[in-house]
């Protein structure tokens, strides 16, 4: 029998280990619109811990995920009507420490959950119970699936038309979402080519099944593709933009598909874009009966839980590598605490990460977690 805990009207409550939930917490807040994350975002030391409503969970965040689009959000590019200050961070994994009465029908204090919701860069986040994903335990690997894994899964399923023998090019293949595009394309029995920026990343890609790796720092990607794949590639999973987009477009085979899931090369610019040779686009697509499709996860939420369930099962069976990068090799070491989110964003834009960048949020000693 699960205890029913009505926390929605209480200002003083205890968590499941018997230690008091504090009245204030740290969180990151966008205080000025800018694509420069350090300029846009402020660490607030004494924000009130939010209270869960009737259908909500209060989650103590243990791990939060860094996404390339964090700086699009801090620049106000997703919703022009939202004005600072506003909370930031898209995804978290943690423990339920309090909940509303309705939410207690499906959840209990102490339960591990993950979620995708703005405001995860905080010690505590209120999450509507219907948006939470119950987990067997609190592990950073689960966080890699929430945005990055689901993006690869749904975009390739809905737009990729993958089948045995197809040639799939994944740009930024060793990154947070690229790692999943590589593995899911291999599961569909495709031949996978991955671009990356170091031999270490190339080694990681080989370890997860990539057939061909191209280090764009030391090799000419265009030349390699023209020589090794003269007929072109059937599908491109593209997240870089700029020159890489142009190159990928030129590499498409007859009836090829280019899926745009991002254009990180331009996010740090004031416009968020890098120039592409778009005036040639109609002619190039026509000549090859090719297509360019955009994919934004928010437009596919009706299939999100199904995708996540499948990904979680694959990981639990050992059929999916969920590589996590805590920044252990970064100059100042592991990303720990909300203050290290700034370093983690810099690390991503320097192209250093292998896998998904995750920040750990440790909690005070009086919590027995």
Q: What are phi and psi of 223, to 5 degrees?
A: -65, -45
pLDDT tens for residues 310-337?
999 999 999 999 999 999 999 999 999 9
Identify the three-state secondary structure at position 28: strand
In this structure, whether the domain defined by 146-299 belongs to CATH 3.60.15.10 is answered with: no
Identify the pLDDT of residue 247.
Answer: 97
pLDDT at 261 over 70: yes
pLDDT tens for residues 307-316?
999 999 999 9
Identify the pLDDT of residue 80.
Answer: 85
- For residue 47, give every residue at least 6 positions away whose Cβ sits within 8 Å of its Cβ, in sequence order, or none: 24, 25, 26, 27, 29, 122
Residue with the bigger pLDDT between 357 and 82: it is 357
Identify the pLDDT of residue 104.
Answer: 87
pLDDT tens for residues 265-276?
999 999 999 999
d(CA 158, CA 156): 6
Identify the pLDDT of residue 20.
Answer: 67
Percent of the chain's residues with pLDDT above 90: 86
Identify the pLDDT of residue 100.
Answer: 86
d(CA 174, CA 118): 25
CA 181, distance to chain mean position in Å, is: 13
d(CA 269, CA 357): 22
d(CA 73, CA 88): 7
d(CA 324, CA 183): 15
Question: What is the C-alpha R_g of the chain?
Answer: 21
What string of DSSP letters covers 278-291?
A: GGGHHHHHHHHT-E
Percent of the chain's residues with pLDDT above 70: 93
pLDDT tens for residues 153-209?
999 999 999 999 999 999 999 999 999 999 999 999 999 999 999 999 999 999 999
Residue with the bigger pLDDT between 74 and 51: it is 74
Give strand pairing partners of 95.
60, 112
Q: What is the mean pLDDT of the chain?
A: 93
Lowest-pLDDT choice from 12-26, 69-83, 109-123? 12-26
Q: In the 3-class helix/strand/coil scheme, how is 132-159 assigned residue by residue?
A: CEECCCCCHHHHHHHHHHHHHHHHHHHH
Identify the pLDDT of residue 54.
Answer: 87
14-138+323-360 falls under which CATH superfamily? Medium-chain alcohol dehydrogenases, catalytic domain (3.90.180.10)
**Hey, where are the domains in the chain?**
14-138+323-360, 146-299
d(CA 331, CA 103): 43
d(CA 67, CA 46): 25
- For residue 94, give every residue at least 6 positions away whose Cβ sits within 8 Å of its Cβ, in sequence order, or none: 59, 60, 61, 62, 63, 112, 113, 125, 138, 361
Identify the three-state secondary structure at position 170: strand
Identify the pLDDT of residue 23.
Answer: 85
d(CA 171, CA 192): 11
């Amino acid at each position: 029998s699960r205890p029913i805990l009505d926390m929605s009207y209480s200002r003083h409550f205890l968590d499941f280990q018997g230690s008091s939930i504090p009245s204030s917490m740290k969180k990151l807040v966008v205080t000025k619109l800018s694509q420069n994350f350090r300029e846009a975002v402020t660490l607030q030391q004494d924000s009130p811990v939010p209270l869960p409503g009737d259908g909500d969970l209060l989650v103590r965040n243990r791990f939060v995920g860094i996404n390339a689009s964090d700086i699009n959000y801090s620049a106000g590019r997703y919703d022009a009507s939202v004005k600072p200050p506003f909370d930031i961070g898209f995804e978290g994994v943690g423990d339920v420490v309090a909940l509303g009465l309705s939410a207690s029908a499906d959840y209990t204090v102490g339960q591990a959950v993950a979620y995708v919701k703005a405001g995860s860069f905080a010690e505590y986040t209120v999450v509507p119970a219907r948006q939470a994903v119950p987990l067997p335990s609190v592990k950073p690997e689960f966080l890699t699936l929430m945005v990055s894994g689901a993006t690869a899964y749904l975009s390739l399923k809905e737009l990729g038309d993958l089948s045995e023998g197809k040639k799939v090019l994944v740009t930024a293949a060793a990154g947070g979402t690229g790692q999943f595009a590589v593995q899911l394309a291999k599961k569909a029995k495709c031949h996978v080519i991955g671009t990356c920026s170091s031999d270490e990343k190339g080694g990681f890609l080989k370890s997860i099944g990539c057939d061909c790796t191209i280090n764009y720092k030391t090799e000419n990607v265009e030349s390699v593709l023209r020589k090794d794949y003269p007929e072109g590639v059937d599908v491109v999973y593209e997240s870089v933009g700029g020159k890489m987009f142009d190159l990928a477009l030129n590499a498409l085979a007859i009836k090829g598909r280019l899926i745009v899931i991002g254009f990180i090369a331009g996010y740090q610019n004031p416009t968020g874009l890098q120039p592409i040779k778009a005036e040639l686009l109609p002619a190039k697509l026509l000549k090859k009966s090719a297509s360019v499709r955009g994919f934004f996860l928010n437009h596919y939420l009706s299939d999100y839980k199904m995708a996540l369930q499948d990904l979680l099962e694959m990981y639990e069976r050992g059929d999916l590598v969920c590589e996590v990068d805590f920044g252990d090799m970064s100059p100042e070491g592991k990303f720990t605490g909300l203050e290290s989110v700034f370093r983690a964003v810099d690390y991503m834009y320097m192209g250093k990460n292998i896998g998904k960048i995750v920040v750990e949020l440790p909690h005070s000693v009086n919590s027995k977690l």
